[in-house]
Structure 1
């Protein structure tokens, strides 16, 4: 019995060195995007902290709880 021989084009054959290079480049690109996202997160966190400590934000914050049950819908006489 003869073994079945497949004719694979030489362009589809990849060496382990070529595959390693491609994977390293892909990993480097993803690491770059992850680092960029982390830097942006820290910048947004600092901006949020700065904005919440500003006077404009403190003026908008409600100073306390106001009882709303004294309205006309409730019979609190």
Structure 2
């Protein structure tokens, strides 16, 4: 008798399962749309940064410091 009552309490109808699946799918759809919008915004920002001179100047000012005494292999 107890097993029968427990079984009836755990049974999910088709309508309940449909509602749960629609809710979960809606939440994931919101996450996917948010990720797509963010991706396009980051892509546009990256394109804008690549076109500026600040990015090119940063590459030209780089100095190779590996030959300093901290990296001396004769020690």
TM-score w.r.t. the length of structure 1 is: 0.66
Runs of 5+ unmatched residues, structure 1:
1-5, 63-77
Partner of 1:22: 20
TM-score w.r.t. the length of structure 2 is: 0.67
Aligned pair count? 57
Runs of 5+ unmatched residues, structure 2:
61-75
Q: Which has the larger radius of gyration?
A: 1
Show CA shifts across 1:3-56 (max 9, x none): xxx625222011100000000000000000000000000000001000000111
5 Å-filtered alignment, 1:8-47, equals 8-9=5-6, 10-47=8-45
For the residues of structure 2 that align with 1:42 and 1:8, how far apart are their CA atoms? 53
